[in-house]
Amino acid sequence: MRSSNGFTLIELVVVIIILAILAVVAASKFVNFRTDAIVSTMEGMETAMQSAATLTYSKAAIAGDEKLETTILDIGGVDVTLAYGYPDGTEAGIDLLMNVPEGDWQKRRSTVYSGAWVYWHSQIEEDAGKAQCYLRYRQATSISARPIIDVETSGC
């Protein structure tokens, strides 16, 4: 009979496999892909919203409507409500241009800021302001002011 002084190769491989499985399970607890996805999507929407506002202003300037406090402009066969040449913060303004699917995002008119439209991901069950995870569009308030578009992601 031979005495054994160590582990066999099979025993070492089994231990390594068990440690790898534990590492994968533990890593998923520390890495939150859901939050990263929501934040990235909101930042992409912010950029799209800035582009939509800039392009709308350019079209309003060509039509000579960029200095009007409120007007309606035909953009690609769709009537968009403007405030000082930029889309206003209503369903007929920025929301119409963004064309965000209902199932993915929740949206509403802001009660805190007049002329503001707020978006938040449908995964967030509480109020977006309370959760501190939203994208907000505040319409232009004068000829010299651009719309204010801000993203709050501290609570995502």
Rounded CA separation 28/30 (Å): 5
Confidence of residue 70 (pLDDT cuts 50, 70, 90): very high
In-domain check, residue 84: yes
> Per-residue pLDDT tens for 11-68?
889 999 999 999 888 877 777 777 888 889 889 989 999 999 999 999 999 999 999 9
Rounded CA separation 145/21 (Å): 55
In-domain check, residue 2: no
In-domain check, residue 3: no
CA 36, chain centre distance (Å): 11
In-domain check, residue 1: no
Q: How many domains does the chain have?
A: 1
Range of the domain at 42: 9-152
In-domain check, residue 63: yes
Rounded CA separation 118/126 (Å): 14
Structure tokens at 131: 């959760």
Rounded CA separation 20/1 (Å): 35
